[in-house]
């Protein structure tokens, strides 16, 4: 039976992230967003508070919290700004949890431990200029050369590209399988910044998440030791899907926070803005938009909590995670649009945060699976064309101290 009551540990994480985001980041996030400035001091502070190792077991340098704690953290961080949640999505969801589940002991000690301690930042490189949702469409290649692999290719729209220390990247190791679009020819590699031939660049002038770092990764004859391969040579595709599932969960939880931020801002404004002799909160059409936001928040929150509960139990839940991501992100975009409408001309300006919320909300309809991909996934599940299979590597069940 699903129990939605929170443990003391979960409540502690929720308050920790709420206080940090509102007290330390909210005062500066508007200016950072306007300047397109990624503030490394914010991630350093997240490391000091233990947020960057939130769900990694204490034995590997983390604080050993569970998936519900991760979801609550993402909700509180995105309440202030999406760029904060993106750090957790990439560093923990896409990278660290993947290392925890698929890495061998040497890899965990070498890469996971410093990430959990916040000494290093992790990123995830799958998307390419010509391949996003179509994973087998990637063109990056890795050719075996003795006890090394030589990597060539380009990754783009990579969060934390210019600030991360470790990257999980995916490349074809079997060109014959690439020709057949056989995904078992894709492998995953751990890359460290500083390797010869590895460079990154920043993507500027984004529509939203301007306070976050997004860029490209270029690999030109990068030599990587074979011990940096994560999993087996034929498991890269499975590893990518596992990582994306964790990332989608964090996006869903964060979107719930964005809905709540829109709702709170709209409520506060509508109670104080007067038209026709009364607060606009008393006008029926304003109530309609606020009511929709309130319901969307409750539904989005319940959906990500259900997905998190399944992850805590080690139960495959790709369907539930996809549904939570699809619904919450659509609802967040809707809530941001309604918030701008309620604030009117002020919503159209940077004087209030809802314009930033509106710009940020759009991105989540694209990354971690477009809304169209999630519609197809949900249709396939409903039609019986897709079923979740038992996992080769069970979902990690982080410790709760």
Distance of alpha carbon 354 from alpha carbon 341, whole angstroms: 10
The helix/strand count (H/E) of the chain reads as 14, 10
Query: Are β-strands 166-172 and 122-125 bridged in parallel, bridged antiparallel, or unpaired?
Result: parallel
Contact 5, 182 (CB under 8 A): no
Contact 87, 160 (CB under 8 A): yes
Contact 316, 387 (CB under 8 A): no
282 is catalytic: no
Give the tokens for residue 384.
């019986």
Distance of alpha carbon 144 from alpha carbon 91, whole angstroms: 28
Task: Give how far Cα 120 sits from Cα of 14, 41, 53, 156, 238, Å.
Answer: 23, 14, 11, 21, 25
Residue 194 CB coordination number (10 Å): 7
Residue 188 CB partners (closer than 8 Å, separation 6+): 102, 168, 169, 170, 229, 230, 231, 235, 236, 239, 240
Return the half-sphere exposure (C-beta side, CA atoms, 13 A cut-off) of residue 257.
Answer: 30
Q: Whose CA is closest to 71, among 331, 259, 303, 239? A: 303
Catalytic hit among 31, 298, 368, 399: 368
Distance of alpha carbon 34 from alpha carbon 280, whole angstroms: 29
Q: Which residues have a catalytic role annotated?
A: 368
């Amino acid at each position: 039976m699903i129990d939605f009551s929170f443990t003391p540990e979960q409540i502690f994480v929720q308050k920790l992230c709420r206080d940090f985001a509102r007290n330390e980041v909210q005062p500066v996030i508007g200016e950072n967003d306007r300047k397109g400035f990624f503030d490394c001091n914010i991630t350093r502070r997240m490391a000091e508070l233990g947020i960057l190792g939130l769900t990694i077991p204490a034995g590997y340098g983390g604080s050993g919290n569970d998936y519900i704690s991760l979801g609550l953290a993402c909700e509180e961080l995105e309440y202030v700004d999406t760029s904060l949640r993106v750090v957790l999505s990439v560093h923990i969801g896409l990278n660290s949890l993947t290392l925890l589940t698929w890495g061998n002991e040497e890899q965990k000690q070498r890469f996971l431990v410093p990430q959990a301690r916040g000494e290093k930042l992790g990123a995830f490189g799958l998307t390419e200029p010509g391949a996003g949702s179509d994973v087998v469409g990637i063109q990056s290649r890795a050719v075996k050369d003795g006890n090394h692999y030589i990597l060539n290719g380009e990754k783009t729209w990579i969060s934390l590209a210019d600030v991360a220390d470790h990257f999980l990247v995916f490349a074809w190791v079997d060109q014959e399988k690439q020709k057949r679009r056989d995904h078992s020819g894709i492998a995953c590699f751990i890359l460290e910044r500083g390797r010869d031939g590895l460079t990154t660049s920043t993507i500027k002038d984004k529509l939203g998440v301007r306070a976050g770092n997004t860029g490209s990764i270029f690999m030109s004859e990068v030599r990587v030791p074979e011990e940096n391969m994560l999993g087996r040579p034929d498991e890269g595709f499975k590893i990518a899907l596992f990582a994306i599932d964790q990332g989608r969960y964090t996006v869903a939880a964060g979107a719930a926070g964005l809905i709540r931020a829109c709702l709170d801002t709209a409520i506060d404004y509508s109670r104080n803005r007067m038209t026709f002799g009364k607060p606009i909160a008393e006008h029926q059409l304003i109530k309609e938009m606020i009511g929709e936001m309130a319901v969307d928040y409750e539904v989005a929150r319940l959906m990500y909590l259900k997905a998190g509960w399944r992850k805590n139990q080690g139960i495959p839940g790709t369907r539930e995670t996809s549904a939570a991501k699809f619904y919450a992100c659509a609802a967040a975009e809707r809530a941001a649009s309604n918030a701008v409408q309620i604030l009117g001309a002020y919503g159209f300006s940077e004087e209030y945060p809802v314009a930033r919320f509106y710009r940020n909300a759009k991105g989540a309809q694209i990354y971690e699976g477009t809304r169209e991909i999630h519609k197809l996934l949900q249709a396939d599940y409903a039609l019986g064309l897709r079923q979740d299979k038992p996992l080769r590597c069970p979902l990690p069940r982080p410790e709760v101290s």
